[in-house]
Structure formats: C-alpha cells, structure tokens
Chains A and B, each alone.
Chain A
Amino acid sequence: MHKTLLIFFALLATHNSLTAQYLKYEWEEDRERYDLGDAFSDEALIYLKYHRQYEYIYEGEERNLFLYQTEHEIMRANNDNALARSNRIYIPMRNAIELVELHARTINKDGTVIEFDKSEIKELEDEETGSGYKIFAIEGAEVGSEIEYYYTKKLDADYFGREFYQFSEPIIKGSFVLLTPSNLQFSFKSYNRLPEIKIDTVESTTVYTMVCENIPALREEEFSSYDGSRQRLEFKLGYNEATGRKLFQWSDATQLLYGRAFLLEKEESKALEKLLGDVKLKGLKTIPEKVAAIEDFIKTSYYLNENAPYEASSIPFILENRIGSKLGLTKLTLNAFKLVGANPSLVLTSDRSEVPFDGEFESYNYLQDYLIYLPEDDSFVAPYNPEFRYGMVPAPFTATEGLFISQVTEDGMAFPKYEIKKIPALPAADNLDKMDVNVTFNEDLTANTVHLKRSFNGYQAAFIKAVYPLIEEARKEELLKSLVKFLAADANITTLELKDKEFHYETWEDPLVIDSEFESPSFIELAGDIILLKVGEMIGPQTEMYQENERMTEVENDFNREYQRNITITLPEGYKVENLDDLNFDEKVIEDGETIFYFKSGYELKGQKLKIYVNEAYEEIYYPKEKFEAFRTVINAAADWNKIVLVMSK
C-alpha cells in the first residue's frame, strides 16, 4: 500500500469518530525533494503529488452532516512559464463554510524551504455566481522548485463528487480518500482506466481509497473530447443504513424534477394561459406547428440569466421580468407545449464535450442541462438556446444519453416515468455546407473572377442566424466577407449578398445562402506561357492532421456534416489542362457495409468547361482510437486536395 496511506490508517485507528472531530490532515513536516532522475525533463510542469480527500462527519447537537475537503498538491515547475502557472493558487470557496487549514511552502533546488505567510491571503468575492476564491501567490519559488500546498475547507455536505486525475501535465502519484461514518455508503466509478476504489472499515468509519501512479500527460487533440477522455472518478452517496434506503437514484431525480418542471402553482397556470393567448396559433393545425410557434415566441420574448435568483424559475416572474433561469424557461416551454396537446418529456443530460452522460452511474452531476423531447414526431427542443429552433439542439447534447422524464396518466392520476435513452445526433445531410464556384479568367490571364454561392444549413447556419440580427451593420458586412474571403484573402469583392435576411422560425431549417462575386489574382501562379491554377484553394483551407503524433484519444466529432463543392472553370481559349487526373480522389471508411466517412472528387470536361465536384461527409460521431489512421486518411485527403495545382498550357 501507498506509504502515506499507511500512516493515514494508523492515525485513523487512534481516532475515535464518535468524538465527531474531523481527522486533521497533515503533511510531512520535513521531507526530501523528489528524485526523478532524468525522467520527465521534457515536461514543463509535473504533479509529484495530487491528493484529494473527502471526510464526511456528523457534527453538533443536530448531528448535521458536514464535509471536510482537503486538497494536497506538490508541483515541480521546470521552466518560467510552468512557474507562472503554478505560483498563483485559487481556492474555490463555493458552498464553503470556512477555510479550516492552509499550508504552503516552496522547497528550492538547494533544499531551502520557504514557508508561506498566511497573512498574504486575499479574497475575491463573486456574488454573481455565488462562488468566490481565496487566493495567494506562492513565495520564494524559482524554476525547479517544488511548490507544495494543502488546504482543508469545511462545507455543507455535498453528495456527489467528481475528481479528474489526468491533466496536460503528468501525475507521478495521485490519490483519493473518502471517509464516512459507516452508516453511509458511497458508490464510485473510475473512468478511462483510472484504478478502482478500495474499501476498508476502521472502527465505525468506512474508508474508500484509490491510488494511481504515473498518469501520463494528455494533450489536446483534434476531433476529440478532452475532458471526456481524462482519467476521472465519479462518486455519490448511495445508501444510508440508518434508513435502509438507497439514495439519489434516477427514480428519485425523476420525482424531484417532475415536481419542479411539470407541476405548476395556480398563478403559474394562469400566467401561462395568458401567455398562450399572445402566441399566434391561429391556423396552425399540427402539434409540431404549434409547438414551433410557441418556442419561437418564448425565445424572442424571454432570455436566460444563468445567475438569476431562484424566483426566476417561476412563470409569473419570467413573464414580468423577461428573465428566466434554465429551469424556469424549460418549465415555461414544456408546460406551454402541454397546453396545446403535446405530450413532452423533460430530458436531462450533460455536455459531452465536458463529461458525457452515463446512465449507468446515477450521479446528479450528470443532470446539467435541460432539453424537451416531443414523441409526436421524435424531435427535440433546446428551451434556452435562442440560436436553435424545433428539431435542432446544441450538438454537445446529442450523440449521448439522457434521463427522459415523461408524464403518464393512469386512472386519472398523473405520475412521472423515466427512461435512459439516446439523444441522437443529426445526420450529416442536416449540416450541409454547399459551395458553387464559378471561375473565369480575365483577359490577360493574371486574375480570376469567381462567382461563389455558398449555402449552409444546420449548426453553422444556426449560429449566423442567431447573431446576425444582433450585430451592427459593419459587423454584418465583416461576417459575410469572412465567409467569402476564406477562399482568397485579397479578394476584391464586387457583389456580396445574403439572401433572405429575415429569419423566421418556420423557415429556420432552410439553408442560409450567400451569393458573391469577387476578383482575385491569388489562384494563379505565373510561369511564362504556362498557367498554374491553384484549384485546390477554391475549396478553402482544410483541417489537416499531417503531424505524426501518437493518437491518445478516440475520435469524437462535434457533429455529423457534409460538404458539397461544385467548381466550374471556364478555361481560357486555347489552353488545355495537363494534369486533370490529379483531380480524382476517393478515400472512404466503411463500417458494417456503410460508408461513414468519405472524401471523393472527380471532373468532367466539356469543351473549355471543366466541372469538378468535391464531396465529403462525416456520418459518425465516434470512432475508435485503434482505427484512427482510417479517419485521418479522409481528413488529410481534403487537406491534400487543397494543394492541387492545375497546369495549363497552350
């Protein structure tokens, strides 16, 4: 067993938990510097120790449950930048009652120890988010120093926890301890190869421990979820022996959320009916039509304030103040849907770009965001994301699971029912970026006139539709220009037009179309009688993954997507292209007989008209690390195509 844990158990044995005194955490008073030899010299910052400790204890006459949370870290900074990152310590004080202990010291290369002067602690208050920090700067630190600190803070007990054990820096030794009176049982789950928790009992205290060693640094990678790939531990309070009850199950969450989101106070129902009178529902027949109209009305009238007071979840408050909390706007929307006959489910999930929802581990930490599901036509609504309309929700909430809570009625009694189900990602065809490029040459063959029609739907269009009405004229112009100038920075734009500038919810799914014409010399390279046409650049810059680093994480796309580009070039009279075959690309990945990723291009030459198509699609969000090369080949095919130069001679 880990040496410090042994000491710890010895201490614990002499500690009587009935005295309701938390176990004071202590560090080694005199310790040697870590000897790493030459290992890790390529790393900027190293966590020599990374310890997290939770102690639950009943205190006071009421025997209320409190949590003493301790963090202990030892870092070595191998250069200035690492030092600048490690010498400022922020202690988050959200929900904290007090900071019980704080010790910090620096052990320099020559062995001198500089103890931290506690009078230097400063406080940053943040009433807006209710968090705030205690902060201090580490004293006397130099490059090569070991920076060490630990603190213990006392909090009202929190029953769910999450700890990451993998960073962009390596951890030499990580550890976790959770102590609890033995009537309480916690559940744990280790993710991404983090070792499992071990359980011991010392007198009337249950001790959960986990030790991990040599956790490698995790780099950010393209097409990857960073946080989702890190080693981490989730835990929750799962059982109370005193009551003999399992705690915090999905069924409990369901009861709680059903009460909050489905059930209305009298004045809420009244306010809601009044609101529905303002929505233009006349002439709308189907439930999806009505629901879409309600959604649009709510999204253009009320806005989200994430730091809103609790009252912002009440419908009358939202209607008067036009501000609502996430829960408030969800409740408003969901109940308005019900009033027009829909049978919506409430869906809770978490952002998979942070940590993906896990239906098998019942932690409320996974219940971060709300969606509404409409079984009528199997669609989702994101109630407080104004950039999305009916049928489309933020991509990080898709391709993951969620807790679906629906209302069922039996014998005139309404009650909630839950299911863990998948929230599917939209198919690639729903995120289509289409370009029609028409290219001609000017008379002296030194520049091209390019007519570009670009149309998008899906996520990229949603973003533009959401911001476009809000931004000033100059910025609108800039935004449109950027959608054209990505082809040629020196483009001299002669026409630039966004078709259909008024966005209506009924046509929200229609593509956003930008029509433009510009002139640019940048596609042509001059070589005497020869024209070199950089046709590859006519599809715009492409993501590449040329550098050969070992892939550490599985592929995770933000969303499925498709690109269709049609390029028509009118070749100058008398010229022919010498290397047309360069235009043919065909790379694909097939799984179970289905093409899930592809990049395909080809051409057709009729007289002086050269028609080229370049199609590309990604139809699967996840792909295993082991098959990464296949995915990379398709991505790099686009980047390679980007480099094609046509040689034209007389």
Chain B
Amino acid sequence: MRAYILLILFIVSNSLFAQKYDEDEFLKYKDKYPEDQAIFLKQFEEVDIKIIGDSLKVVTTNTKEILHLGSQSSVYAKDAIHSSSFFKTENIQAKTLVPEKRKYKILEVTDFKESYDKNSSVFYDDSKSIKFFYPGVQEGAITSLKYDQKIIDPKFLTSFLFQSYLPIAHSKYVIVADDGVELKLDILNDEKSIVQKKEEDLNGRKKYTFEAFDVPKLKFEDDAPPIRYSGTHVVSLVKYYEVNGTKKNVLSSPKDLYSWYSTFVDGLKEKSHENVKAIVNELVTDSDSELEKVRKIFYWVQNNIKYIAFEDGMRGLIPHNAEYVCSKRYGDCKDMATIVINMLHEAGVEAYFTWIGTRDIPYKYSEYPSPMVDNHMIATYKSDDKYYFLDATSQYSSFELPSAMIQGKEALIALDDENFEIREVPVIDKEVNLRTDSINFKLENSSIKGDGIATLHGYPKVYNSYRMVKSSKQEVDDYLVNILQKGSNKFFIDDYTIKNLDDLDTPIKVDYQFRVEDYYREIGDKIYFNMNLDRAITNEIIDEDREQPREFNFKLTNNSISVLNLPDGYEINRVPENTNFDSDVFGFDITYEVIKDKVILKRTFYINELLIMPERFDLWNEAIKKLNDAYRAVLILEKTEA
C-alpha cells in the first residue's frame, strides 16, 4: 500500500514540476530531433492487477505526453482514445501546457466526443473512439493525456508497443500485481536490446518494469506485415493466481483458453433446427460421400449467407445459432462457421469449431494461449489425416483451399467439450496458385491481333472472382482489360467469354480476342518486335532503404505463352537468347522457339515466399533486374528478298 501512495506522490510531484517551463530542456530536444515536428516525452502504461475476493481486477493507467517542437505540429493536436465494453475508459484528463514566460499556462480539454469507429470494416461495432483536440498547440507546448482503462476480464490483457509514429524519449510498461499472480511477460523483436527490464518486490506485490529511452519512430512501409511482426513489444498474459492456497488458472495453457472458448459454442453444433434441417435434406442425399456432403454444404453457405460483421460486447465472441443465421441469410465469421458445422452435423458429418488468427497477428496459441492470438473463426472437417479448413467468409474459395489470410497459422480445433487440437494451416504451394495466359497473334500494320486463353487457379481465382462477378458488364469489361493488358495501354479486347466463374472447383477460363495498336515499327526492311507483351512484375524492384519484409498474399506461379505468326514475306533475322533464374524465393524462365513460321515465347515465373525478408532483397532485386533485361530483348524480322 505504501508503494501505491509513493506512486501517487510521484505522479503529483511530477506534474507540479511540469508547471515550470524549462527552455533549455525544449532546446535540447529540438536539437536532438531537428527533423521532427513533435516527439513523445512519455508513453507509459501501468497495469494494476489485484486479487479481490476470488477474482482478479485489472486496471491500466495510460500516460502520454507530446512535446511540440516545430511550428507545424498542429496535426498532432487531434487525439483519440479507443474504448469498448471490454476496455472501459475512465478518468480522462487531457490538457495543453503552453509556455508563457517561465511558466506553463494550462489549457484543459473539456470537449470529448464519442464516435463510432469509422475506420472499422465491421458493420456494427460497439467500440468507440473518444475524440478531442488539444487547444493552444504551438512550438514549445506539451500536450498531456492520462486515462484509466478497466479491463473487464484478465484474459484480455495484451501487449505494449515501445514505438510509435513519433520518436519517444521515454517508453515504459509497468505491471504491478499482487503476490500469487503468475504472469507470462515476454519481450519480442528486441534485437537491439533497447528494453530494460526490472523486477521489484513491494511488500505483497510485485512490480515489473520494462522501459526504453530514445526510441526511434516507426517506419511505415507498403506491403509490409503488421507492426507486431517487427516492432519491439512486450506480450503479457496472466497464467494463474492463488487465492487462499487454491490455484486458479487463467491462461496457463491452451487448455485454459479452450475451456473458456468451448462455453461460447456450447450446444450450437448439435441443436437441430427445422429450417436448417429442411435445407440440408434438400441439399444432400444419403448416397453422397461424406466429402461430397461437405462440399455441398460449404458451398451453400458461401453462396447464401452474406458476410456482415458485428462486434457487440460478448457477441463479439459468441456466435448466433444456425437457425438465426439461416433466417437472416447473413452473419459474421462465427455465425458462418456455426451454420456450416450445424448443417454438417444434421447431415451426419462431424466438423469442428475452430479459432484462428489471420496473418495480421504474429502469435501462436502454443506460445501465448490468449484471445490476442485470434480474430477469426472457421469450421474444420477431418477426413482420415486430411484437414479441410472451411472459411465461408472467403466466398470464392474451393472447399479444399483455406482462405489465403490464414495460411501458415495455428488453428485451435474444438474436438469435443474437453478436447482440442492445435494444428497449422498449410501454406498453399505455388503450383496450386497458377495463372496462365496463352496468346496467338499476327502482325497487321504496326498493330497486332490475336486470341488468347487465360486461366486462373487457386488463390488467383479466388481474388479475381471478387472483381469478375463484381458488377455491371461495363465494369467486368474494364477489369479484363486491366488484368489481361499486354503490349501497351493501347490494348483492346474485342470479345470474350468467361467460364467457370460460378464453379468453385474448376479454374476460371477466359477466352478472348484482342488487339494492340501501334505496338511495333517497321523501319527499312526490318520489323523490331518485342515478344514480351506481358511484362508482369517488371516494377517490383524493392527500394534499397526498405527495412521491413515484403509481404505477398500467396505464393504464385505465372505461365505465359506467346505465339507470333510470321507475316508473309518475312524471315527471322534475330531471336533473343533464352534466360532463367532460380532461387527459393523467386525464379523465372524465358525460352524462344522457332517452329516453321511461328515464333514461340514461353515465360514462367514464380514467387515462393509469403514474406520476403530484408536479407533476401538483394537476391530479389538481382532477379527482377535480370528479368527486366530479358524483357528488353527484341526479335528482328527481315523482308525476304523477292
């Protein structure tokens, strides 16, 4: 208790001190951060965990102070606190300290406005942003924010990131927990050892302090995985606590997490519903194999239940029952998993509720058995040793393909009330995710004219389906021009047919007639013709200053064949060389072949990683440059002497 008072005293005295404006201090920071308009002086989170009665009470106190260094730091005058029914915000104090002579004048923020989260992709979300503006922001001012958050369940304890969008002079994460509370506290991504850790005994409580000084700001880069993949942070969870000699598990192992999760889905699989039953009976027949039943039911849900996400308190964790979902014809991921599992159960097939984190989250259940590991639910069906991860939110995936966003992630599969299994979803091989394009064309007065067949398999099919079923004919026309474009932007599709768009088991096939105008020049008696009409990934050079990995949605193989029919009266003067490049990350192969009056260019390339790590950037760039060299090689045709 004494320590607690000390802590309060510390805070009070600290804020009293802040009343005096120290110009030297300001100049010191301005000197240190000449490029920045503002820095965080402090970014603190203090977590207090108390045993009260036989449960845990968790409250965090958050402190942020920004020192405004430049005259144009007004962009940092706007601030917001994220709040929800799981993280209840209280005691907000926000103010600006404006230097005036040798003191600070204090301007309190009084106008706090609650708004729904406008950036959320979720249709209805009970979380809120509490928004406000700091008044009087100017060079030398300090904006200060302090608030508490009650975490309604200790299982929701998460993590603390030491970096931010501004440099931080002092970043600190403190947990003070009553004796008997056992925590798991890990520092992640701290290769440079910027975090100092300290443990103290405070008469019946334990204090863990993690702090870092002069932390550089985060670098945001395109196509990079989320910040917790590379940002330095502490992950925290409560393993268990002891009350009167009895040990109470919170999240000591995946078993604890599962025993909590299993209550959310209690009875949802087995309960029989009239309308659901009727649909199942119409859909499957006794003679269907189990796999056929899975296929039919999964596809029915994909087709008929529309994804609309709701996050409303505990409803964010507990699915609706299948009948509800069936009558509404919409649901979120949990609801879609539920109706798949319930329908399969009705059809006599066992499938399992499955929790999983998408690739946005870097953690594993086996390391951190906590709800921070996941953000998604699917259904799993097992046939002998083969697992089918059925994610009906991925509307155009075949039942054999997990959604791209869960590849390589651990799935927590509910086998029954007591038992579960953790299993990794496979990363789908590049051979499955195939895109092909074969064209056959002839030359006509500096333009080319021909036909082509393009196919899309695996994830390329899934991703393109969204756009191809998208909308009006006009939009599909435009989209095809976009994805099939070759030669130049003077590319036209004169006619096309798309096949298998509705058949999730078969690749999409597009037959098309095309022309490219003004593609080549005939000079003298020669035609200079670049056969590389499709220069895919030619611009994918990774900037030499990039720090974070480059992320791809899926591994990929791309094959194309171009067949040029020699114009009458011409012969081949020069054929470009064949080239190839192979590595475990990326490779390509380009070959030219002359068969009678045809020149055939075969090009294939592959991307064999979801994340290209910085140490592979040189290799990647070398390969792209080599590919670009090959793209620049030109075929020469020459008039035959008459």
A residues neighboring B (CB under 8 Å):
42-45, 79-84, 87-88, 114, 122, 124-129, 132, 135, 137, 139-142, 217, 219, 300-301, 303, 305, 307-309, 320-323, 469-470, 472-474, 477-478, 481, 489-490, 521-522, 524-528, 530, 532, 544, 546-547, 549, 578-579, 582, 639-640, 643, 645, 647
B136 in contact with A321 (CB, 8 Å):
yes
Q: Mark B61-78, 1 if CB is under 8 A from A, else 0.
A: 000000000111011011
Contacting pair A526 B75 (CB below 8 A): no
B contact residues around A524 at 8 Å (CB): 632
Verify if B431 is at the interface (C-beta below 8 Å from A): no
A521 to B304, CA, bound (A): 52
Q: Please give me the residue from chain A that is nearest to B576 by CB atom.
A: A526
Q: Are A544 and B115 in contact (CB under 8 A)?
A: no
Is the pair A127, B528 in contact by a Cβ cutoff of 8 Å? no
Known: A140-B327, A322-B136, A546-B489. A647 touches B123 (CB 8 A): no
0 or 1 for each of B530-567: is its CB under 8 Å from A? (1 = yes): 10000000110101010000000000000000000000
**B634 engages A521 (CB within 8 Å):** no
Given that A137-B123, A323-B135, A470-B37 are contacting pairs, would A546 and B330 also be in contact in the complex, using a CB cutoff of 8 Å? no
CB neighbours (8 Å) of B328 from chain A are 137, 139-140
Q: Closest residue of chain A to B37, judged by CB?
A: A470
Contact A139 B329 (CB under 8 A): yes
Determine if B124 and A219 form an interchain contact, defined as CB atoms under 8 angstroms apart.
Answer: no
- Contact B530–A320 (Cβ < 8 Å): no
Task: Evaluate contact between A526 and B634: CB separation under 8 angstroms.
Answer: yes
B583 at the interface (CB under 8 A from A): no
Question: Which residue of B133, B306, B489, B492 contacts A639 across the interface (Cβ within 8 Å)?
Answer: B489
Q: What are some 9 contacts across the A-B interface (CB < 8 A)?
A: A80-B395, A82-B471, A87-B306, A125-B128, A137-B308, A139-B327, A300-B71, A321-B133, A525-B634
Contacts of B111 in A (CB 8 A): 309
Contact across chains for A472 and B217 when beta carbons are under 8 A apart: yes
CA distance A219 to B472 in the complex (A): 11
Contacts A128-B115, A217-B472, A521-B629 given: A530-B306 contact, CB under 8 Å?
Answer: no
Asked if A469 meets B633 with Cβ closer than 8 Å, knowing A79-B469, A81-B469, A527-B574, the reply is no
In the complex where A125-B115, A307-B113, A308-B133 touch, is A81 in contact with B471 (Cβ < 8 A)? yes
Q: Chain A contacts of B538 at CB under 8 A?
A: 489
Is the C-beta of B518 less than 8 angstroms from some C-beta in chain A? yes
Please choose the segment from B186-194, B339-347, B473-481, B503-511 that sits at the chain A interface, where 4 or more of its residues have CB less than 8 A away.
Answer: B473-481
Distance between A475 CB and nearest chain B CB, rounded to angstroms: 8
Given A44-B471, A530-B636, A647-B523; A490-B329 close (CB under 8 Å): no
Closest 7 CB pairs of A and B: A321-B135, A127-B113, A44-B471, A42-B473, A527-B634, A489-B539, A303-B74
A101 to chain B, nearest CB (A): 21
B289 interfacial by beta-carbon distance below 8 Å: no
In the complex, the chain A residue whose C-beta lies closest to that of B113 is A127
Interface status of B421 (Cβ within 8 A of chain A): no
**Which B residues form the contact surface with A (CB < 8 A)?**
35-37, 70-72, 74-75, 77-78, 107, 111, 113-116, 118, 123-124, 128, 131, 133, 135-138, 217, 219, 304, 306-308, 312, 327-330, 395, 466, 469-475, 478, 481, 488-490, 492, 517-518, 521, 523-524, 526, 528, 530, 538-539, 541, 543, 545, 574, 576, 624-625, 628-629, 632-634, 636
Bound together, the chains give a CA A478 to CA B75 distance in angstroms of: 20
Question: What distance in Å separates the Cβ of B636 from its nearest Cβ neighbour in chain A?
Answer: 6
Cα distance, A469 to B517, chains bound together (Å) = 45
Nearest chain B CB to A271 CB, angstrom units? 14
- Known A44-B470, A125-B115; contact A301-B521, beta-carbon cutoff 8 A: no
Taking CB as reference atom, which chain A residue is nearest B520?
A645
Contacting residues, chain B, for A137 (C-beta < 8 A):
123, 308, 328, 330
- Bound: A259/B72 CA distance, A: 32
Tell me the bound Cα distance from A472 to B219 in angstroms: 9
B624 nearest in chain A by CB position: A490
- With most chain A CB atoms within 10 A of its CB, the pick from B37, B74, B488 is B74
Chain B residue contacts of A469, Cβ below 8 A: 37, 70, 72
Give the CA-CA distance A546 to B447 in the complex, in Å.
14
> In whole angstroms, how far apart are the Cα atoms of A139 and B478 in the complex?
32
Q: Give the CA-CA distance A521 to B472 in the complex, in Å.
A: 41
**Measured CA separation A547–B491 after assembly (Å):** 8
Q: Which of A81, A83, A125, A647 is packed against the most chain B CB atoms within 10 Å?
A: A81
Alpha-carbon separation in the docked complex, A473 to B327 (Å):
55
A124 vs B118: C-alpha distance when bound (angstroms): 10
Among B36, B78, B327, B517, contact of A472 (Cβ-Cβ < 8 Å): B36
User: In the bound complex, do residue A643 and residue B628 qualify as a contact, i.e. CB atoms below 8 Å apart?
Assistant: no
How distant is the Cα of A142 from the Cα of B303 in the complex, in angstroms? 9
**Residues in B whose Cβ lies below 8 Å from that of A490:** 539, 541, 624-625, 628
Q: Are B489 and A647 in contact (CB under 8 A)?
A: no
> Which of B74, B395, B490, B625 meets A643, CB within 8 Å?
B490
Which of B116, B518, B539 interacts with A125 by CB under 8 Å?
Answer: B116
Q: Pick the contact of A474 from B135, B219, B306, B489 — CB < 8 Å?
A: B219
Q: A308-B133, A322-B138 are in contact. List 7 more A-B contacts (CB 8 A).
A: A126-B115, A129-B115, A139-B329, A140-B328, A141-B329, A219-B474, A305-B78
**Separation of A125 and B128 alpha carbons in the complex (Å):** 9
When A135-B124, A579-B521 are in contact, do A472 and B472 touch as well, CB less than 8 Å? no
B118's nearest neighbour on chain A, judged by CB, is: A126
With the chains together, A307 CA to B329 CA distance in Å?
38
For residue B471, which residue of chain A has the nearest CB? A44
Return chain A residues, CB-CB under 8 Å to B72. 300, 469-470
CA of A525 to CA of B576, assembled, Å: 11
- Given A42-B473, A320-B135, A525-B634, the answer on whether A124 and B116 have CB atoms closer than 8 Å is yes
Query: Which residues of chain B are near A322, meaning CB under 8 Å?
Result: 74, 77, 135-138
Q: Which B residues touch A323, using CB under 8 A? A: 77, 133, 135
Contacts of A124 in B (CB 8 A): 116, 124
A87 touching B37, Cβ below 8 Å: no
CB of B541 to closest CB in A, whole Å = 5
Within the assembled complex, what's the spacing in Å between the Cα atoms of A574 and B113? 73
CB–CB A547/B481 < 8 A: yes
A474 surroundings in chain B (CB, below 8 A): 219, 545
Tell me, in angstroms, the Cα distance from A84 to B121 when the chains sit together.
13
Contact A525 B329 (CB under 8 A): no
- Whether the pair A489, B634 counts as a contact (CB closer than 8 A) is no
Query: Is there an interface contact between A142 and B35, defined as CB atoms closer than 8 Å?
Result: no
Q: Which residue of B lies closest to A473 (CB)?
A: B35
* A247–B478 alpha-carbon span in the complex (Å): 49
CB-based contact A489/B541 at 8 Å: yes
Q: Select A320's contact among B74, B107, B327, beta carbons within 8 Å.
A: B107
Report if A142-B329 is in contact (Cβ < 8 Å); known contacts: A125-B114, A323-B135, A647-B521. yes
Whole-angstrom CA separation of A42 from B476 in the bound complex: 10
Set of chain A residues within 8 Å of B304, measured between Cβ atoms: 142
Contacts of B574 in A (CB 8 A): 527-528
**Chain B residues within an 8 Å CB radius of A527:** 528, 574, 633-634, 636
- In the complex, what residues of A have CB within 8 A of residue B625's CB? 490, 521
**How far does the alpha carbon of A128 sit from the alpha carbon of B79 in the complex, in Å?**
12
Name A217's closest neighbour in chain B (CB-CB).
B472
In angstroms, Cα B436 to Cα A154, docked, is: 57
Cβ-defined contact, B138 with A301, below 8 A: yes
Expressed in whole angstroms, the minimum distance between the Cβ of A108 and any Cβ of chain B is 9
Contacts of B489 in A (CB 8 A): 544, 546, 639
A477→B545 contact, CB < 8 A:
yes
A321 to chain B, nearest CB (A): 4
Give the chain A neighbours of B35 by CB distance below 8 A.
472-473
Q: Which single residue of chain B is at the shortest CB-CB distance from A121? A: B124
Cβ of B312: which chain A residues have Cβ within 8 Å of it? 122
How many whole Å from B575's CB to the nearest CB in chain A?
10
Q: Which residue on A lies nearest to B105, using beta carbons?
A: A320
Residue of A nearest to B312 (CB): A122
CA A189 to CA B403, docked complex, whole Å: 51
Q: How far is the CB of A495 from chain B (nearest CB, A)?
A: 15
CB–CB B634/A470 < 8 A: no
- Given the complex, which residues of A lie within 8 Å of B632, measured CB to CB? 521-522, 524-526
